Structure 1
Amino acid sequence: MPKPPPLPGRRWHLPSALAAELDPDHATRNGRPRRTARDWAVDFALFLIAVGVGLLGAEETTKDPNIPYGLEVADQWIGALACAAVWLRRRWPVGLAVAMVPVAFVSNSAGGAGLVALFTLAVHRPFKYVAWTAGASAALSAVFFWLRPDSEVPYLVAVALAVLLTAALVGWGMFVRSKRQLMVSLRDRWRRAETEAALRAEQAQRLAREAIAREMHDVLAHRLTLLSVHAGALEIRPDAPRAEVARAAGVIRESAHEALQDLREIIGVLRASDGGDESGRPQPTLAALDGLVSESREAGTKVTLDNRVSDVSAAPASVGRTAYRIVQECLTNARKHAPGAEVAVAVSGAPGDGLTVTVGNPAPPGDVPHVPGSGQGLIGLTERAMLAGGRLDHGPDGNGGFRVRAWLPWG
């Protein structure tokens, strides 16, 4: 597989072989061009064509009794040098074609080299260069046959054949150029599509990783916070009553078990070939809020729930899951940053009006121990609400407390 090209916005470079074929100067900017075996074969074939046509021209010159012997020898020497110059056609196509116009005019033996040079110019350069050179060659052919008339072919027929041959060479050369440009364009598009596909795959993987990271944070942070809070309570109060110690240990055990179950669920999603959930555990919905609040109460958090949703079972699964995660993260943050404060959870909404979730707590009643946190939870909640088509606002309530308010669409 070829190496992908640079990203969009940077200059695209054509493959070296095709770039050198369309633009010989491209390959000579940093050194002499390196010809492939195909290039050598094409150059040798065109050289043989130039020599063959030149020999026919030399034979016609020999048969003409009006041409002195010295001019015949000079004509043949000029034709030989012109055929040798064909090997320079890739490096200087314009200069060679322009030089061959007067050379072919004075030498019959250089006619083949002139045809090859014109064809090369049509292949490697735009039409504006070809038009001037081909026009000059066609005009000089009329003068050539006027000065050296053919005894077997009428003047007008000879001129018409020369012009037709020139037009055919130009057309053939332009066809080859267009075909090569099409190949370059198709290859460039293929390489660009390959790069864009790789970028899309990378972006999809990044979005999937972000979604997995957000899900892991929302799911595990709640369980691990319970573990941290109750383990810290046992550490601070080793002389607590036996019943309270047993209750805290039970909460720790239950939270650890649920954390492991949630972790297995996420790993099952990662391992699923179709991106589904192999664990078989249902995702939380709006109806699971009562269980979440009860769990928080059992863990020692004071929580009140005001659920005014007209029909909980009618709420879309994605909206209910997003609302559940918002409440879960808010309860986790309240437990960490406002221990002992009563958390008020209010949920209201109906189809067509949207779902509104409000979670707030007053200032904590006592000192708050330092709990490490990065604020990624609230950032993740904001992103989750935006992905669901809603919005989320959070901040102090003005009385020392904190409030989170989210609105989610419910069509």
Structure 2
Amino acid sequence: MTRRDVPGIPVLLGLLAGIVALTVLSAWSARDTAVPLGIDLLVGAVAVAVLPLLSRRPLLGGVLLGVLAALSPAATPAATAGTYVVARREGLAVAVPVACASAVGHAVQALWRPVGLPLGWWLLADVAVHAALLGWGAYGRTRDTLVDEWRARARAAERDQVRTVEEARSAERTRIAREMHDTLAHRLTLLATTAGALEYRTDLSPEQVAAAAGVVRASAGEALEELRTVIGVLREGPEELRPAPGLADLAALVAREREAGATVTLTVPDVDLPPALGLAVYRTCQEGLTNARRHAPGAVVDVRVAVEDGLRVRVVDVGGAAGSGPGTGSGLIGLTERIELLGGTVTAVPRPDGFALEAWIPWEP
């Protein structure tokens, strides 16, 4: 703990040396000649020399100062200052015995050396002064402890704030990355598949080429719109973003797949879903179709949404040729995070003749 308002030892020693000299001269001017001046000066010097001991052995130093105060008024400045210093630096378990030692020492001094007040008043003043010094030092120590605690709390709050901001940034980056995968990856995969068909299918009729080119153009435009939507997440105007897709948009999603040459069947219930739930269903179907097109081109894909003790979404592909190989898995990770936030589960398992992606979300119509 930082010690504040406690004078440095050199400054304290210099001040006390001056006070001791004034005390001794005052005693001699009052014709207190029972003790030689040299003895008083020696006791005062020893008392000042004992002060540094308070920082290492405060209880021993306080008792020695009390003994010296009983011998000569020259030790009074050092003994009273020692009471305050120990109370300022140490707990009451140490400060109270030191204050008592100094008070008793001064009381003993008053019994055999002349004082400027009646004995009763002197003892009362002695106790009052040491109690005030003890309270003053304890108050300062308590204040220092509180200030140190407040500063530690402020630093901890700053660290927590920095960590909270970093976590929010990381969560936002993850959300944006998930949105980009769920939207752009689907469009771009469709573009790549259709462009590949145009490149290798030289036997296509002009009508088929035109239809495929139309799919490429439409997919490119939709990919651009999706990119604008994702970029809009970073802007301050979320009200400018278009509505998130939902259950009603699955028909258009499947239609685009069919235009690209895929064989897809769709079964959806006639229900109204909350926006967040509808978006989760849409992203699940989109992820399943993207994976089927990428890893099993030409497969027959069945997309089925049903209300079965909740909401269940299944995307199953059967047959198909070998695709572009294993992906990064980030799409399934992002989809799993999205579904788990709604309290649901995601399973993705290979089948003997294909692959099945299934999501379950708790929901009551």
Query: Normalised by the size of structure 1, how large is the TM-score?
Result: 0.80
1:24-173 alignment runs, 5 A limit: 44=11, 48=15, 51-52=18-19, 55-56=22-23, 58-68=25-35, 71-80=36-45, 82-83=47-48, 88=52, 91-92=55-56, 94=58, 96-150=61-115, 152-173=116-137
Percent identity over paired residues: 39
Offset at residue 117 of structure 1 (A):
1.5
Describe the superposition over 1:17-59 as per-residue Cα deviations: whole angstroms up to 9, x where unpaired. Answer: xx4416xxxxxxxxxxxxxxx8769974895477347623541
The answer to whether the 8 A contact 2:263-2:301 is kept is yes
1:341 equivalent in alignment to 2:299: yes
Offset at residue 247 of structure 1 (A):
2.3
SS in 1 for 2:359: strand
Match of 1:355 in 2: 311
Offset at residue 389 of structure 1 (A):
2.1
1:392-403 alignment runs, 5 A limit: 392-397=346-351, 399-403=352-356
1:273 equivalent in alignment to 2:236: yes
1:323 equivalent in alignment to 2:281: yes
Q: Which amino acid aligns with 2:228?
A: R
Quickly say closer, same or farther: Cα 1:40–1:304, change in 2 above 3 A. same
Q: Which amino acid aligns with 1:342?
A: V
The answer to whether the 8 A contact 2:304-2:314 is kept is yes
Q: Which amino acid aligns with 2:298?
A: G
The answer to whether the 8 A contact 2:6-2:85 is kept is no
Match of 2:247 in 1: 286
Quickly say closer, same or farther: Cα 1:387–1:79, change in 2 above 3 A. same
2:13 and 2:344 mapped to 1: Cα distance? Answer: 71
Describe the superposition over 1:133-157 as per-residue Cα deviations: whole angstroms up to 9, x where unpaired. Answer: 222223333322222253x533333
Match of 2:340 in 1: 386
The answer to whether the 8 A contact 1:394-1:404 is kept is yes
Q: Which amino acid aligns with 1:406?
A: A
SS in 2 for 1:295: helix
SS in 2 for 1:139: helix
Structure 1 gaps, min length 5: 1-18, 23-37
The answer to whether the 8 A contact 1:396-1:403 is kept is yes
1:289-308 alignment runs, 5 A limit: 289-308=250-269
The answer to whether the 8 A contact 1:62-1:72 is kept is no
Match of 2:360 in 1: 407
SS in 2 for 1:248: helix
1:139 and 1:81 mapped to 2: Cα distance? Answer: 19
Q: Which amino acid aligns with 1:191?
A: R
Quickly say closer, same or farther: Cα 1:82–1:162, change in 2 above 3 A. same
Offset at residue 182 of structure 1 (A):
0.8
1:321 and 1:268 mapped to 2: Cα distance? Answer: 17
Offset at residue 300 of structure 1 (A):
1.1
Structure 2 gaps, min length 5: none
Offset at residue 109 of structure 1 (A):
1.6
1:124 and 1:181 mapped to 2: Cα distance? Answer: 11
Q: Which amino acid aligns with 2:353?
A: G
1:261 and 1:180 mapped to 2: Cα distance? Answer: 61
Match of 1:206 in 2: 170
Offset at residue 224 of structure 1 (A):
0.7
Equivalenced residue count is 363
Q: Which amino acid aligns with 1:216?
A: M
Answer with 293-302 or 153-162: which moved more: 153-162
SS in 1 for 2:316: strand
